[in-house]
Amino acid sequence: MNKKRLTTLVVSCIAALGLQAENVNISTKTTSLVVDATKGNDLKFMYYGAKLSDKDIVTHCETGGWKGQWNYYSTYPAYGVNCDQEYALSVVHANGDMALELRLEEVEKQGDVTIFKMKDKVQPFYVNVCYRTRPESEVIETWTEIFHQEKKPVRLTRFYSGSLPIRRGDVWVSHLYGSWANEGQLCEEPLNAGMIVIENKDGVRNSHTSHGEVMISLDGKARENSGDVIGAAICYTGNYKLSINTHDDEYHQLFAGINEEASEYYLAKGEVFKTPVLALTFSREGLSGASRNFHKWGRKYMLAHGDKVRDILLNSWEGVYFDINEQGMDQMMSDIASMGGELFVMDDGWFGDKYPRKTDNSSLGDWVVDRKKLPNGVPGLVKAATKHGIKFGIWIEPEMTNSVSELYEQHPDWVVKTPGRDLEMGRGGTQLVLDLSNPKVQDFAFSIVDNLMKENPDLYYIKWDANMNIRNHGSQYLSMDRQSHLLIDYHKGFIKLCERIRAKYPDLIIQDCASGGGRANWGYMPYFDEFWVSDNTDALQRVYMQWGTSYFFPAITMASHISAAPNHQTFRTIPLKYRIDVAMSGRLGMEIQPKNMTDEEKTLCRKAIADYKTIRPIVQLGNIYRLQSPYDKKGVASLMYVDDTKDKAAFYWWKTETFVNQHLPRVKMAGLDASKYYRIHEFNRIDNNPLAFEGKTFSGEYLMANGLDIPYTHDVDYNKKNAWSSRVLYLEAVK
């Protein structure tokens, strides 16, 4: 261990029992996580929260937390001794022994990673409990590395990434739930006796019905910009489980990791089982403060190209669905280029030879161009995009096939299926999942991207979809005694595939789509640049979905498109102005076909695209401050983004319901410099007359103390009036 580095890491004090304890402080700029790392003992959790001084750590250690309770909690509790509480790890040794008593052997520092090396008291079974702190980050990452030297495989029956005790009181948890076309819905509830379990069992995707992240408010129902909040996110591409157990003692206990159900893992001698990262953050600035911590960490360390603003694109899907043809694609490219867009993406429907892709029931796996639709192939489209001065992207679904496909006819053994059992089909009645635990399937999936890129070196963007879950538990590749490895080995193969693509094509932009928002998890984002928030593009519902998603993911990750009216999913008719204002709060794009728009609508969109380019760095790379939640049912939702210098900001305000004689709250701003003055300018204005504060300057102190009175309606001609109202304001500091 590096002794010099340890001088700021380790604090020694006398614990309640009079034993010498070596307490390790894993700290960020504003937080501390302290563990009792006494050699020969279990690793004990002491503290997590606002940063402690060395002196306060000593005092905390001497008093033993609350009545000595900290001394009771293992940092990584294992099953086998004192079994009445929840645990993070359980195994069955080769001799049938089900117990573990982990004892600390050594603390090692490797760069930004602190490793606590543990060994079972009896068996040659080892666990490294790891913590990482990254420069300029308020997130602490933890995971474990599990291995052994027993003569035969050890069966892992539970293998979470970590746990965290949380002092009882008026503690609330906020988490996300939903469904297809209704992702990222917010649920807030107090922590009471019993257990809350948040889990995923899809097998392929993991954020439709629940999310692998939680916010925990320590002082009552969470507030956006004040109060103590702990955020936790399991960074994994597969099935996960988070649970918060409230027993009869003074602490809630959070656990998070891979969902162990149907996934017992037989660990061979010398093999290392590495659990996914559990990311933790603490903020004294409420939910938005915790979100800002996740966003900064994510953009800098987890997200592909997290420091580069995203292009404004037109996607073909809602415009033509499967009705792809060369003339139509060229028309769309011309349209988006004329409006100031930068990228065109051709969606599903472009491929298939023996089985042309005309609907969703065939052709997946047959990644050859349908020459009847596209006589000049993909190269012809890339050339056309260059002609129009924009970039080109394409849709693929590499992990899937259809039973109606040449691929399935040639390789029926490549699909996920239990040997000897019938297939359960998915989308279109024919869709099947390819078995990525099989290296040959990984090679095939890589070849899809590789062949496209070899043929089209200027291909800029890929939309990667995944439209089916694992309905047939079983692998024709894995041996019958390792069938329980499928749900884990599938994602090991997926990560190998993604790493291989990124190694060869580091500049390629890839969208993470999975029946909409099925893969919004930090485990995916090192390999993807953004995700499709939802197949539902209805602007009102997007206010709610994007609000919840923003708890953990920054705007740069959230593809948010202007769609047609009536909306294709809800059939709600929402004015174009409102649809634009919502889409501009994420990564702006379009689904609506410009050729179907009026000249007035085109002008509004063209101006919005130009204005978005002004605020794009603020929105995509700035700091979020959520101001008024739509979930509070106050009739309005509002948030803002502020750049790091606090010189520029983008403020969003959406009315979410309309009644006669309604009274909406005046929204106070946040995140500004109180001493600076800001000039106000409205984007996407449709009013006959400018707002009363248009062009006026206000101090940051005034705007944060008072906000601005936003009119409830738009000042438009009578024939243009409707129930909808929204505003986007650009704030720029004046010298």
> Is residue 549 a contact partner of residue 558, using CB atoms and an 8 Å limit?
yes
Residues 100-136 have pLDDT tens digits of: 999 999 999 999 999 999 999 999 999 999 999 999 9
3-class DSSP string for 34-102: EEECCCCCCCEEEEEEECCCHHHHHHHHHHCCCCCHHHHCECCCECCCCCCCCCCEEEECCCCCCCCCE
pLDDT of amino acid 519:
98
Same domain, 285 and 375: no
Better pLDDT: 688 or 68: 688
Which residues contact residue 111 at a Cβ distance below 8 angstroms, ignoring those fewer than 6 apart? Answer: none
Same domain, 296 and 374: no
The sign of the torsion formed by the CA atoms of 292, 296, 301, 306 equals positive
Distance, CA of 579 to CA of 589 (rounded, Å): 11
Distance, CA of 146 to CA of 392 (rounded, Å): 44
CATH classification at residue 448: 3.20.20.70
CA distances to 415, 565, 579, 690, 710 from 686, rounded to whole Å, are: 53, 18, 13, 9, 14
Q: Look-up: residue for tokens 């809630």? A: 252
Residues 634-687 have pLDDT tens digits of: 999 999 999 999 999 999 999 999 999 999 999 999 999 999 999 999 999 999
Same domain, 284 and 138: yes
Does the residue 603 lie in any domain? no
Same domain, 298 and 348: no
Same domain, 349 and 293: no
Where does a domain end: 518, 540, 563?
518
What's the mean pLDDT in 282-302? 98
Supply the DSSP symbol for 225.
Answer: S
> Is residue 181 a contact partner of residue 569, using CB atoms and an 8 Å limit?
yes
In which band, very low, low, confident or very high, does the pLDDT at 71 lie, cut at 50, 70 and 90? low
Same domain, 191 and 109: yes
What's the mean pLDDT in 444-471? 98
CA distances to 119, 324, 470, 589, 666 from 563, rounded to whole Å, are: 57, 19, 31, 9, 29
- Kind plus residue range of the DSSP H or E element containing 541: helix 539-549
The domain tally of the chain equals 3
Where does a domain end: 464, 483, 518?
518
CA distances to 175, 214, 291, 513 from 188, rounded to whole Å, are: 7, 10, 16, 27
| Closest among 350, 335, 574 to 459, alpha carbons compared | 350
Which residues contact residue 566 at a Cβ distance below 8 angstroms, ignoring those fewer than 6 apart? Answer: 572, 573
The b-or-e profile of 395-426 (16+ CB within 10 A means b, else e) is bbbbbbbbbbbbbbeebeebbbbeeeeeeebb
Does the residue 588 lie in any domain? no
> How many CB atoms sit inside 10 A of residue 480's CB?
10
Distance, CA of 91 to CA of 100 (rounded, Å): 8
Does the residue 315 lie in any domain? no
Does the residue 550 lie in any domain? no
> Is residue 643 a contact partner of residue 696, using CB atoms and an 8 Å limit?
no
- Say yes or no to pLDDT of 69 above 70: no
Residues 375-400 have pLDDT tens digits of: 999 999 999 999 999 999 999 999 99
pLDDT of amino acid 4:
37
CATH classification at residue 727: 2.60.40.1180
∠ CA 418-424-425 to the nearest 5 degrees?
A: 130
Same domain, 142 and 200: yes
Which residues contact residue 686 at a Cβ distance below 8 angstroms, ignoring those fewer than 6 apart? Answer: 577, 604, 714, 716, 720
Domain housing 689: 625-734
Distance, CA of 388 to CA of 381 (rounded, Å): 11
CATH classification at residue 54: 2.70.98.60
What's the mean pLDDT in 589-615? 97
Same domain, 633 and 497: no
Joined together, the tokens standing for residue 305 give: 């190209």
Residues 72-101 have pLDDT tens digits of: 689 999 999 887 889 999 999 999 999 999
Same domain, 297 and 349: no
Distance, CA of 476 to CA of 496 (rounded, Å): 19
> How many CB atoms sit inside 10 A of residue 172's CB?
18
Does the residue 593 lie in any domain? no
Same domain, 188 and 74: yes
In the chain the first and final C-alpha atoms are separated, in Å, by 51
CA 641 to chain centre: 19
In which band, very low, low, confident or very high, does the pLDDT at 13 lie, cut at 50, 70 and 90? very low
- Say yes or no to pLDDT of 3 above 90: no
Which residues contact residue 579 at a Cβ distance below 8 angstroms, ignoring those fewer than 6 apart? Answer: 539, 562, 563, 565
Does the residue 594 lie in any domain? no
Supply the DSSP symbol for 302.
Answer: I
Q: What's the whole-model pTM score?
A: 0.96
- Say yes or no to pLDDT of 5 above 50: no
Beta bridge partners of 562: 590
Does the residue 228 lie in any domain? yes
pLDDT of amino acid 6:
39
- Say yes or no to pLDDT of 59 above 50: yes
Does the residue 422 lie in any domain? yes
In which band, very low, low, confident or very high, does the pLDDT at 439 lie, cut at 50, 70 and 90? very high
Residues 523-533 have pLDDT tens digits of: 999 999 999 99
Q: What is the dihedral of CA 696, 588, 184, 170, to 10 degrees?
A: -30
Same domain, 290 and 401: no
> Is residue 148 a contact partner of residue 122, using CB atoms and an 8 Å limit?
no
Same domain, 351 and 451: yes
Residues 238-265 have pLDDT tens digits of: 999 999 999 998 999 999 999 999 999 9
- Kindly tell me the number of DSSP H helices and DSSP E strands found in the chain: 13, 36
Half-sphere CA count of 196, side-chain side, radius 13 A: 23
Where does a domain end: 495, 518, 541?
518
- Say yes or no to pLDDT of 7 above 80: no
- Say yes or no to pLDDT of 557 above 90: yes
Residues 709-719 have pLDDT tens digits of: 999 999 999 99
> Is residue 181 a contact partner of residue 116, using CB atoms and an 8 Å limit?
no
∠ CA 697-699-702 to the nearest 5 degrees?
A: 115
